[in-house]
Amino acid sequence: METVVALHRNHFGEIISFVTSGGRIISYQKALMEATNGAIKGVQAIEDYDGNLVLSPELEQSFDHYPDLF
Beta strand 2-9 with 40-41 is parallel
pTM (2 d.p.):
0.87
Q: Are 6 and 66 in contact (CB under 8 A)?
A: yes
pLDDT digits (tens, 9 = 90+) for 17-43: 999 999 999 999 999 999 999 999 989
**pLDDT exceeds cutoff 70 at 70:** no
Label residue 51 left, alpha or beta by phi (over 0 means left) and psi (-120 to 50 means alpha). Answer: left
